[in-house]
Amino acid sequence: MAPSALPTLQLRPGTPFGLYLHVPFCLTRCGYCDFNTYTPAELGGVNPDTWLAGLCAELTMAAEHLGGPVADTVFVGGGTPSLLGGTRMRVMLDAVRDSFGLAPQAEVTTEANPESTSPEFFEEIRTAGYTRVSLGMQSVAPGVLATLDRVHSPGRAQAAAAEAFAAGFEHVSLDLIYGTPGETDDDLCSSVEAAVAAGVDHVSAYALIVEDGTALARRVRRGELPAPDDDVLAARYELVDAMLADAGLHWYEVSNWSRPGGQCRHNLGYWDGGQWWGAGPGAHGHIGDIRCWNLKHPTAYSRAIDERALPVAGFETLSAVDRHTEEVMLGLRLRHGLATALLSAEERRRAQTAVGDGLLVAEGERLALTDRGRLLADAVVRTLLG
């Protein structure tokens, strides 16, 4: 696929600007994952160094195209960014400084797989300017990790968190997955307890979703594993929420909990109407009313860069209806909810019905999900939008 020419992009003033940098490399593919990632055998002639050169070139071209907004937040995701090693991670962040620049007190986050980190890795990226680490823990139960095809051993995520703290990181997050076939309540309790004991200031917890085309989906289709049960998922969510709240981590988005000051500012930009450029294979961006996405495969991405073209595969212009739908859908997921003034008269009427049903609560001029409403967040959004 050839690159797509972007129209002129107009940044909305007064909203945060972020950069998402996608690292497409993984040593193995987890059975549940449908992200745009590639194992070494799937990469053709692309390697971390050719990819990194392409990413740096894309950042330069994107900054010129956008007129050089300064980045308030940077999020390095994947894939497995920690496979790059500390030196490449430093080069990546230096490229951000040279192209867009970093705002004072910018938040710079990287995801990391506990198995591909070390004290030296954390020390190098902290010195380079990274401020936040998000570690993929998923579970401490060996059986759950095996079902998910996770390669790290139980206990390694907590050890990695301790190494990150020792390197000077103040903000460390652990990711959990609940509802894996074969998981018990005790398995989940042990995982949450381990995350709390690690002393992190942020936890993300996601219900397992069986995505089409994944190895997990094939196992479920063959009857080797049961599909996740909605009632079980709801009960597990309530368990996670209660345990984290008791430990002083409170929800600020439906799937995210933090101590005061531990919220991920980059992700809040996604949910709160911010703007960002997505760099790297398959990365998505949102500038003004334009949503764009890059060529997916690293080979096609590198070919576009070699031709000195932005590696954009396509874009769409959001209509007023599209923007409103996203505003309602994303705003309601946040603890502070949605301004009632953003809703039409008919939507406010539907909202009152949801309040009466115990799914929403009116707090001044805002509407927020109740505890029960969080379990049915998607349905509440559909109700409001009609």
Q: Which residues pair with 250 in a beta bridge?
A: 258
> What whole-number distance in Å separates Cα of residue 286 and Cα of residue 23?
19
> What whole-number distance in Å separates Cα of residue 55 and Cα of residue 76?
12
Collapsed DSSP state (helix, strand, coil) of residue 59: helix
- The pLDDT, as a whole number, for residue 230 is 93
Angle (deg, nearest 10), helices 156-166 and 185-197: 10
- The pLDDT, as a whole number, for residue 2 is 58
- The pLDDT, as a whole number, for residue 260 is 97
What are the C-alpha distances in Å from 186 to residues 50, 192, 232, 241, 243?
45, 10, 13, 15, 13
- The pLDDT, as a whole number, for residue 7 is 84
pTM tops 0.85, yes or no: yes
Radius of gyration (C-alpha) of the chain in whole angstroms: 21
Segments of the chain with pLDDT less than 70: 1-4, 152
